[in-house]
Structure 1
Amino acid sequence: MRIDVLGLQAFVSIAERGSFRAAASHLNLSQTALSHRIRKLEESLSLQLLVRTTRQVTLTPAGTALLPRARKVFEELGTTLEDLRTTAREAEERVVMGCLPTVAMRCMPEVIAAFVARYGNVQVTVHDNSVLEIADKVQSGEAEFGVTIMSANRWDLELKPIVKEPFVLVCHRSMPMAGASSISWAELGGMPLVRISSETGNRILIDDALGARSETLLWRYEVQRVVTAVSLVRSGIGCAVVPKLALDVVSRDDIVAIPLRSPTVTRTLGIVTRKGLPLRPAARDLLDLVIAALHESIAD
């Protein structure tokens, strides 16, 4: 059953003011239009709600029963609309994004500084999470967009590739290969290696690129975070394969990054948004700053 909101509004106004004339004036309607609304409401309910005489308007038993419920409907509607206004106002004062931790550490300090210079009063929230968590937050609307690895998409999300980031070998400066300009995967045979957990998506990319060759390498250690992998390298127990940007955020006094070749393995970083939902201006500007920072970081 469709709810006749205009009819209920007319009914409440008449009941509270005691006359069609006062109610019509309050609603900025003609008395004829007001009468039409009441007649339509009564016909839809198959009930008479008002008894109108030349001097006064009286509620019927049905009208008396309806009045408090109709008032409650408008009170709840008013509260809902005010909540929506508050939410919209707060949304204009805040931008929420998701971002891979390595990208967040490397790019977001300069991005946020530039954004604050333009939008001093807008709060920025960065969820530095995994690929799956970023997708979840964008899909739920908790984040407006995310910076993530290009992977299997969800039907209601849109992925746009931005840059390709190479994986590099990290080793201690004391190791013989530390001065090499590049190193092939074949040269890593028998060397204790550290890799990042498959939960980050990086392991899958490497395995897919190397194929069966991946199983011939000595993946002796597996960790969850790049910082842990680098710590193991510093201890001298092995080398690590990490994304290039990840290394840019740790001290490199005693470690070096060597480009890998044959094959060169990369991960594609991109932007995930909800399909069909345009970004607000502030979020769009923040995204543009992120994209520029990504390009600059990869080019370094």
Structure 2
Amino acid sequence: MRADFLGLQAFISIADRGSFRAAASHLNLSQTALSHRIRKLEESLGTPLFLRTTRQVSLTAAGTTLLPRARRVFEDLGQALDEVRADLCDADEQVSVGCLPTVAVHCMPAVIAAFAKRHPGIGVRVHDNSASEIADKVQLGEAEFGVTIVAANRWDLELKPVVKEPFVLVSHRDMPLAQAASLTWAQLQGEPLVRVSAETGNRILIDDALGPRREALIWRYEVQRVVTAVSLVRSQIGYAIVPQLALDVVDAGGLVAIPLRSPSITRTLGIVSRKSVPLRPAARDLLSLLSDQLKHSVANPGR
């Protein structure tokens, strides 16, 4: 049975005031309209809720049982509406964005600084997660958009490419390959390499591009995150193949990035958002700033 909220509202108002006339005045209704609401509610319940005399109105046993529960319904409804209003207020004061960790570290400081000048009253929440986690955040509405690897997409999300970022070999300056202007993958045979977990989109891109040739390489170490791979290189344990922007994840002092060829491997970074859900003006502005910064960072590595 559908809840009769108008009937319950009339019922509570009469019970609180002990009078149909006072309740009708409070609800800005005629007594006829109020009586109609109560009669409809009583008919749906199959029992009277009030005992009416010429002098007073009192609750029946059914009315006495219903009253605290009806109050609770309206209290819960009021609380829910307050929470929705609070969420909308918070949303107006903050923009949430998903971002790959390497992109977040390299691009977000400058982007947030520029955004803060344009929107001093609006905060930014950055979800620096993996590609799959970013898609989840956007899909659930926890992030308005995300910067992620362009790959197979979900049906209810829109993915727009922004820039191609090359993978590079990271070496410590004191290691043998550090002086090379560029390297082929064949030249890496026999060298100790650090690879990132197969759970990441980066690993999948490299494996697919190399095909069977990846088996000729010595993948001596495996880690979960790019930042850990770069840290191992700093300790001169081995070399790592990472996205170009990854060198900003840690202090790049003592490290060099060497271009790779035959084949050159890139990842396409793009913007993921929900289909048919327009971004708010502040979010659109943040997206524009982030896209411009991303293109600049890839075109001007190390700056």
TM over 0.5: yes
* 1:203 aligned residue: 203
Distance (Å, rounded) in 2 between the aligned partners of 1:176 and 1:67: 82
* 2:221 aligned residue: 221
- Aligned partners of 2:227 and 2:249 also within 8 Å: no
Distance (Å, rounded) in 2 between the aligned partners of 1:88 and 1:160: 27
Distance (Å, rounded) in 2 between the aligned partners of 1:132 and 1:269: 14
CA shift for structure 1 position 214: 1.4
CA shift for structure 1 position 151: 3.2
* Range moving further from structure 2, 172-181 or 201-210: 172-181
Q: Tell me if 1:12 matches 2:12.
A: yes
Distance (Å, rounded) in 2 between the aligned partners of 1:231 and 1:17: 73
Distance (Å, rounded) in 2 between the aligned partners of 1:214 and 1:277: 41
CA shift for structure 1 position 69: 2.1
The count of corresponding residues between Structure 1 and Structure 2 is: 300
* 1:273 aligned residue: 273
Distance (Å, rounded) in 2 between the aligned partners of 1:236 and 1:81: 58
* Range moving further from structure 2, 52-61 or 79-88: 52-61
Cα deviations by residue, 1:16-52 (Å, 9 ceiling, x for unpaired): 2222222122111222222221221122122222344
* 1:98 aligned residue: 98
* Range moving further from structure 2, 59-68 or 21-30: 59-68
SS in structure 1 at match of 2:288: helix
* 1:183 aligned residue: 183
Percentage identity across paired residues of the two chains: 72
TM-score (norm 2): 0.87
Q: Tell me if 1:83 matches 2:92.
A: no
TM-score (norm 1): 0.88
Distance (Å, rounded) in 2 between the aligned partners of 1:223 and 1:80: 45
Question: Any unmatched runs of 5+ in structure 2?
Answer: none
In the TM superposition, 1:49-64 aligns within 5 A as: 49-64=49-64
Cα deviations by residue, 1:55-78 (Å, 9 ceiling, x for unpaired): 443333322332222222212222
* 1:169 aligned residue: 169
CA shift for structure 1 position 79: 2.0
Question: Any unmatched runs of 5+ in structure 1?
Answer: none
Cα deviations by residue, 1:230-250 (Å, 9 ceiling, x for unpaired): 344344454321101112454
Distance (Å, rounded) in 1 between the aligned partners of 2:252 and 2:58: 86
**Partner amino acid for 1:239?**
Y
**Partner amino acid for 2:75?**
E
* 1:290 aligned residue: 290
* 1:146 aligned residue: 146
Distance (Å, rounded) in 1 between the aligned partners of 2:29 and 2:150: 57
Cα RMSD (Å) of the superposition? 2.5
Distance (Å, rounded) in 2 between the aligned partners of 1:76 and 1:226: 47
CA shift for structure 1 position 177: 5.3
CA shift for structure 1 position 156: 4.2
Q: 1:183 to 1:34 in 2, by over 3 A?
A: same
**Partner amino acid for 1:105?**
V
